[in-house]
Chains A and B, each alone.
Chain A
Amino acid sequence: MREITYRLALNEALAEELERDPNVFLMGEEVAQYNGAYKVSQGLLDRFGPQRIIDTPISENGFAGMGVGAAMVGLRPIIEFMTFSFSLVAFDQVVNNAPNMLTMSGGQFNIPITFRGPNGPAHQLGATHSHATECLYANFPGLKICTPATPRDAKGLLKTAVRDDNPVLVLESELLYSSKGPVEPIEQELLIPLGQAELKREGRDVTIICYAQTVPLALAAAEALEEEEISAEVLDLRSIKPLDLPAILTSVAKTHRVVVVEQDRPYCGIGAEICFRIQNDIFDELDAPIARVSQEDVPMPYNERLEQAVLPSAEKLIAAVKKICYA
């Protein structure tokens, strides 16, 4: 199979969906003439024109709301946030208007909108620019959230998100944009359903549950652990909501030990939800307490050494795995 970058995979997904459905348009800061702050929309203005690839002023609350309104009357907007840290300026539109409309209108108005852009800490961007927003948005019924970690997932999940009749957040990763991986040939339609985890590596002794930027960490840790004769299974959630609980339970029932490695913060983070579900459904299968590796519960410092101390890492993950394996 051909290998392409995560960035190009997203670009192909956008182009294919724009091509397929004239109601689809892309809107956001620097998406058109500048080809995207991270070049995800490279070439789309030339190909689809300024009516469908739309540069906005720095008005996140305004253009996110425009997206919701346009969706109420039949368009299928793709709204790019330059990063999800800036989506917080539009929080009300994303959590109050988009997901509530269907209920409030008694089923009359669904909102088929995609909010996408990079999410999670990148590198030394400081407290305001490093937010991992998945745990915030996961708290709102009516939103769907996916977190692709590979080029293939990026393409397949984004295309599915655009076709979904609900608001979907595609949380990309700045640190993954240049990573490469196998993706089906361009002429082959690639749709990956929301709510399906993927086993990225099989193992016997412990399940590492991961998503987005923590997937490469988990794979690196699993490889290192093999040398110490610990066989780790790596389960990439791919979607945060809906959550693939059956895949989680199947893996845990096989390994009996779990570490969740998440890119958000520990307090009310994604891992907390997953821990609850596992112990609630298959408590008897667990041979050790569930471990979590996440960020530290502090605003992100700029200093590189401190930032590394805040972030989850393969080393921290390995230590957590060993702790529960020898427990």
Chain B
Amino acid sequence: MSSPEQRDEVEMLSLMLLIRRFEERASQQYQAQKIGGFCHLYIGQEAVVVGAIAAIRPEDYLITAYRDHAHALARGTSADACMAELFGKVTGCSRGLGGSMHYFDKARHMYGGHAIVGAHVPLGVGMAFASKYRGEDRVTLCFFGDGAINQGSFHEALNLAALYKLPIIFICENNLFAMGTSVERSTSLQQIVHRAEGYDIPGHVVDGMNFRDVRDQLTEIVNSIRANPHPAFVEIRTYRYRGHSMSDPASYRTKDQLEKYRMDDPITRLRAQLTREGKLTNEQFDAMDKGAKETALASVKFAEESEEPPLEDLYAYTYVSEATVPTAAGAQA
């Protein structure tokens, strides 16, 4: 039988499968015009957030940009609540008011879902400030893309975090492109991780197609931060298989590049590792995959059958009122 840690890895593989199947369904539903606005898929990057989640506790803080479906699913938000949000339904994780780019789940310490590039990086620093202020040993994971590192807010945030020695991991999901702009065309540095040096923040490079590398490196960093609060910077090298958003044909990159990364697929890789080590059979994998597909399909049905937010919701959340005191679930957890 497998040890707890090994069982964990199978669970994490199962989570990666759920994320992928969920997004494949989302993509299909977008094309069927059941989903509006912008919709950015994470397919190819699953090992990044799942590896990170495997390294932290449920009560640690997590904040990310607009490519956020996977981050919510990884935190434990249900596929139903995630799909319903895409459909704009009241059962969605943001009551249908946020949409694809603005997933929130306070009870599970998912602090968004933020669509202005770079704007949430200082928020992550503020969350880390609060946990140090209260003497807690929580760590904040702040995810952002390679495109965000040229925003002023990013630079101000890094300096503040270093200055106040705050327990935060800046996680740059370097998928080589910000929309159609490759990293070489946006950034003067050869390597993104060198950004950290200028702020005296320790920097690490991680293979984002390899779940184990992500989990192991982040575990070490998290342990170091819990022992003694400080910021860290991690450049995780990864790739998105799809276009920037549903409307982007991604003609700025080559088929060869895409194929190269697909050959190194994070799900296939972890599956192979586990199979080789005798921890996973083909039957088990197939059953997990079938389960993920069923969950994704069921989430579409759930979303379709859910209610729209009532018209009274229009003014309900502009200011705090007695009727709308935020659900306290996550506040003290």
Contacts and interface: CB of A to CB of B under 8 A. Distances in A.
Among A55, A126, A303, A306, chain B packs the most CB atoms within 10 A around the CB of A303
Contacts of A59: 150-152
Interface string B56-80: 0000000000000000000000000
Interface stretch (B112-120, B133-141, B196-204, B221-229): B112-120
B181 A124 contact: no
Contact of A309 (B99, B150, B311): B311
Nearest to A62: B152
16 contacts: A30-B179, A57-B178, A58-B150, A58-B178, A59-B151, A89-B119, A89-B151, A124-B37, A126-B101, A127-B98, A128-B101, A128-B114, A301-B314, A302-B94, A302-B97, A305-B308
Nearest to A90: B152
A89 B314 contact: no
A interface secondary structure, majority: loop
B147 interface: yes
B36 interface: yes
Nearest to A310: B314
Interface of A: 29-30, 33-34, 37, 55, 57-62, 85-86, 88-89, 123-129, 296-299, 301-306, 309-310
Interface string B267-299: 000000000000000000000000000000000
B150 A30 contact: no
Interface in B291-313: 308-309, 311, 313
B254 interface: no
Interface in B185-201: 185-187
B88 A126 contact: no
A58 B118 contact: yes
Contacts of B151: 58-61, 89
Given A55-B185, A302-B37, A303-B88, 8 more contacts: A29-B179, A57-B186, A60-B151, A85-B116, A128-B101, A298-B318, A301-B96, A303-B97
Tell me whether chain B's interface is mostly helix, strand or loop, or mixed.
Answer: loop
B42 to A, nearest CB: 18
Contacts of A126: 37, 98-99, 101-102, 115
A299 B180 CA distance: 30
A55 to B, nearest CB: 6
A202 to B, nearest CB: 36
B51 to A, nearest CB: 26
A88 B117 CA distance: 12
B314 A125 contact: no
Contacts of B38: 125, 129
A57 B115 contact: no
A27 B132 CA distance: 42
A2 B179 CA distance: 34
B180 A34 contact: yes
B252 interface: yes
A37 to B, nearest CB: 7
Contacts of B37: 123-126, 129, 302
Contacts of B308: 303, 305-306
Nearest to B119: A89
Contacts of A125: 37-38, 99
A37 B178 CA distance: 12
